[in-house]
């Protein structure tokens, strides 16, 4: 188990040698009101991880699920209000049928069915009950009730008898189980709180689900469910033991990947295209590899090496494939298509995650870079600041001058800075994005545009920089960068935007994050061990899960 040396800066004034030393000194956790219990639809990734964890990676299926709404920068918050449309259910059921058939096929049944029926040609209720008791607990994230086991077993019995096939009976009943709301929705089940009469608390199994989806982005494993069943998750030592086990597990990488995929809106990469004439080196493989590069860089930095989150903005360490190397112009040739670590020199402009293809190309046009889109992404995604949408009646004739002598983006964007209707917003995006103009729309480095030397100087909130590396440094030192991460990670953890009443709670985690040296696994520990993470308030009459939310994923209309 990895131990961290953490410093409770300005609080304890001494070194503490335990990653879980959460009491005794340091800021006190503010009392959180929580929010009424609700339920979240499994995300596609959570569904996939759950299936892989339960049945192994060889069980595959196709299809796609209904999209989630992005709220406050996160689709995880959209899961809280997501519904299941008829065609969405059709996809769930088709996937369930496909998965169930694979689980009981002749190869997999040897491993995945914990017993052998008396005859494969008829029902065997004892064996079926054993199977559903085990699998159902992992699917529903709690022990099944006697009635639930009875229904699953009886259905398997009936089908087996009608089809003279025990395994077909299991498959039909399993497919039905995987199409129920018990599986498709993660529910905040509550029970009366014995320590606070009149209030409720999450059941131990609901606590286990919160923990598991935050840290592993998957269903609770057997060990965690056992701990829940024993009541361990209500005791500090029991909870800490599970958190320590889970943070130390290789599965933590899946959890960190899931959060950063959502936080950085990597979903946009799924529809990214570049013009093959303008950027011939950029293909479908480039998009896939750039996504993986970014996530490898993040997990290597934050999980494997447990480094300061802020240094992600300046690190030169990354991983590349031959496909990416063509755009980065690196001497990397991996004929097997595999990954190779690469370290950019300390004076290289390719500093940090903002200088990676995944960020640069997705925030560009198909055949041209976009300082505005890049600046906007920095503001909205990395700094959690809102950039207003352009007005619907904006006068585009201002920069439709066919005789314009502009050769560079900076020259073209001068119009934005001089036209009052545009200047208000563009002045908060363009000066940042112009710092990345040394990278074209595909992310390749360049020194000139249309034969003109590119000026990549700029400023971010009064902090000037000379180039992309300078911008990276300014971002690294910007206090809004870690604050944004904390805000988003807390919202992601509790499945809803942090409300006004939780301002102090978020500030508390910001302080801890700083004191812990901006280590993300440590922040995950802190959140997972906090009262706020599990807090639910009694449901108010007529409470709507949607009432407190903001539909903040407005589609953007950004012309330059």
Partner 1 sequence: MSILLPRPPSRRRALRSIFNGAAVTLALPYLDCFLNENGTALAATGASIPVRFGTWFWGLGHTPGRAVVDKRVTGRGVDFLEETAALKPYRDKLSYFGNFTMPLDGNANYTHFTGWVATLSGYVPQRGGEIPGTTLDLLIADVVGNTTRFKTIDVTSNGIARENYSARGTNSRAAAEVSPVALYARLFGPDFVDPNQAGFQPDPLIMLQKSVLSAYTEQSKEFLKSTGAADKARLDEYFTSVRQIENQLALQLEKPPANEACRVPQRPGEPSVDQLANIREMGNVIDTHKVMTKLLTMAIACNQSRVFNMVFTDNFGNVRRNGESYTHHLVTHEEAIDPALGYQPLAFWFGQQCMNGFAYFLEALSSIKEGDGTLLDNCLLFASTDSNYARIHSLEGVPVYLAGKAGGRVKTGLHVVGNGTPITRVGLTAMRVMGVPRETWGTNSLQTSKVITDILA
What is the distance between the alpha carbons of residues 16 and 25, in angstroms, rounded to a whole number?
10
Q: Which of 84, 241, 419, 501 lies at the binding interface for partner 1 (CB under 8 A)?
A: 84
Task: Based on DSSP, count helices (H) and strands (E) in the chain, helices before strands.
Answer: 23, 14
The mark string for 293-332 relative to partner 1 (x by CB under 8 A, - otherwise) is ----------------------------------------
CA angle centred on 22, ends 20 and 24, rounded to 5°: 130
Indicate whether 414 belongs to the interface with partner 1 (CB under 8 A). Answer: no
Beta strands in 347-503 (DSSP E): 448-449, 452-453, 458-460, 463-465
Q: Which of 45, 275, 292, 504 lies at the binding interface for partner 1 (CB under 8 A)?
A: 275
Q: Which of residues 180-209 bind partner 1 (CB under 8 A)?
A: 180-182, 184, 187, 189
Q: Which of 218, 314, 363, 560 lies at the binding interface for partner 1 (CB under 8 A)?
A: 560
Residue closer to partner 1 (CB basis): 129 or 473: 129
Indicate whether 85 belongs to the interface with partner 1 (CB under 8 A). Answer: yes
Q: Which of residues 349-378 bind partner 1 (CB under 8 A)?
A: 365-368
Of 74, 100, 267, nearest to 183 by C-alpha is 100
The mark string for 100-139 relative to partner 1 (x by CB under 8 A, - otherwise) is ----------------------------------------
Q: Which of 118, 284, 304, 417 lies at the binding interface for partner 1 (CB under 8 A)?
A: 284
Residue whose pair of structure tokens reads 């286990």 in the numeric block: 208
For residue 152, the surrounding DSSP H or E stretch is helix 146-163
Contact 509, 523 (CB under 8 A): yes
Q: Which of 86, 198, 420, 451 lies at the binding interface for partner 1 (CB under 8 A)?
A: 86
What are 510's two structure tokens? Answer: 């910001």
Indicate whether 273 belongs to the interface with partner 1 (CB under 8 A). Answer: yes
Indicate whether 97 belongs to the interface with partner 1 (CB under 8 A). Answer: yes
Indicate whether 78 belongs to the interface with partner 1 (CB under 8 A). Answer: yes
How do strand 190-192 and strand 200-202 relate by DSSP bridges? antiparallel
Residue closer to partner 1 (CB basis): 315 or 560: 560
The percent of the chain in helix, strand and coil, each rounded to the nearest 5, is 50, 10, 45
Query: Would you give the DSSP letter of residue 303?
Result: I
The neighbour count for residue 180, using CB atoms within 10 Å, is 15
**Total binding residues for partner 1 by CB under 8 A?**
87
Indicate whether 448 belongs to the interface with partner 1 (CB under 8 A). Answer: no
Beta bridge partners of 463: 460
Q: Which of residues 202-261 bind partner 1 (CB under 8 A)?
A: none
Contact 496, 35 (CB under 8 A): yes
Indicate whether 552 belongs to the interface with partner 1 (CB under 8 A). Answer: yes
Indicate whether 283 belongs to the interface with partner 1 (CB under 8 A). Answer: yes
Indicate whether 82 belongs to the interface with partner 1 (CB under 8 A). Answer: yes
| Helix axes of 166-177 and 146-163: crossing angle, nearest 10 degrees | 140
Indicate whether 292 belongs to the interface with partner 1 (CB under 8 A). Answer: no
Q: How far is the CB of 276 from partner 1 (least distance, A)?
A: 6
Contact 342, 330 (CB under 8 A): yes
Q: Which of residues 486-545 bind partner 1 (CB under 8 A)?
A: 539, 542-545
Q: Please report, in angstroms and rounded to a whole number, the separation of the first and last CA atoms in the chain.
A: 49
Q: How far is the CB of 265 from partner 1 (least distance, A)?
A: 13
């Amino acid at each position: 188990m990895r131990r961290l040396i953490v410093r409770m800066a300005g609080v304890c004034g001494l070194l503490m040698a335990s990653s879980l030393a959460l009491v005794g000194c340091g800021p006190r956790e503010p009392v959180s009101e929580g929010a009424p219990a609700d339920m979240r639809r499994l995300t596609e990734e959570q569904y996939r991880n759950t299936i892989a964890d339960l049945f192994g990676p060889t069980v595959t299926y196709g299809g796609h699920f209904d999209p989630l709404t992005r709220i406050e920068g996160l689709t995880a918050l959209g899961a809280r209000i997501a519904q299941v449309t008829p065609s969405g259910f059709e996809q769930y059921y088709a996937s369930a049928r496909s998965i169930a058939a694979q689980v009981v096929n002749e190869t997999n049944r040897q491993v995945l069915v914990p017993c052998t029926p008396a005859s494969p040609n008829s029902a065997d209720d004892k064996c079926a009950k054993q199977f559903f008791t085990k699998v159902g607990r992992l699917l529903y994230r709690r022990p099944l009730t006697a009635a639930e086991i009875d229904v699953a077993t009886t259905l398997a019995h009936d089908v087996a008898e009608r089809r003279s096939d025990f395994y077909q009976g299991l498959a039909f009943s399993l497919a039905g189980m995987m199409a129920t709301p018990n599986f498709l929705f993660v529910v905040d089940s509550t029970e009366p709180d014995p320590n606070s009469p009149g209030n409720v608390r999450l059941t131990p199994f609901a606590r286990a689900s919160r923990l598991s989806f935050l840290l592993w982005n998957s269903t609770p494993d057997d060990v965690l469910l056992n701990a829940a069943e024993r009541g361990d998750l209500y005791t500090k030592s029991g909870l800490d033991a599970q958190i320590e086990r889970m943070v130390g597990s290789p599965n933590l990488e899946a959890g960190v990947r899931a959060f950063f995929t959502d936080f950085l809106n990597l979903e946009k990469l799924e529809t990214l295209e570049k013009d093959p004439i303008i950027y011939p080196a950029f293909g479908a493989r480039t998009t896939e590899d750039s996504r993986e590069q970014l996530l490898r860089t993040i997990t290597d930095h934050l999980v494997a090496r447990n480094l300061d989150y802020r240094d992600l903005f300046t690190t030169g360490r990354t991983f590349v494939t031959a496909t990416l190397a063509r755009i980065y112009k690196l001497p990397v040739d991996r004929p097997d298509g595999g990954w190779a670590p690469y370290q950019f020199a300390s004076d290289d402009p390719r500093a940090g995650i903002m200088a990676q293809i995944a960020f640069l190309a997705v925030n560009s046009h198909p055949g041209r870079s976009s300082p505005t889109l890049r600046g906007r992404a920095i503001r909205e995604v990395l700094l959690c600041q809102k950039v207003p949408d352009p007005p619907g009646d904006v006068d585009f004739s201002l920069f439709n001058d066919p005789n314009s002598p502009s050769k560079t983006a900076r020259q073209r964007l001068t119009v934005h800075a001089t036209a009052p209707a545009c200047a208000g917003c563009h002045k908060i995006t363009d000066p940042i994005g112009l710092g990345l103009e040394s990278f074209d729309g595909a992310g390749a480095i360049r020194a000139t545009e249309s034969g003109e030397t590119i000026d990549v100087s700029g400023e971010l909130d009064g902090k000037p920089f000379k180039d992309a590396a300078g911008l990276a440094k300014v971002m690294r030192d910007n206090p809004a960068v870690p604050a944004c991460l904390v805000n988003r990670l807390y919202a992601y953890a509790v499945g809803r935007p942090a409300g006004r009443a939780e301002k102090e709670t978020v500030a508390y985690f910001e302080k801890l994050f700083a004191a812990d040296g901006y280590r993300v696994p440590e922040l995950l520990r802190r959140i997972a061990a906090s009262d706020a993470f599990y807090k639910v308030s009694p449901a108010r009459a007529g409470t709507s899960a949607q009432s407190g939310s903001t539909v903040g994923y407005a589609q953007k209309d950004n012309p330059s």
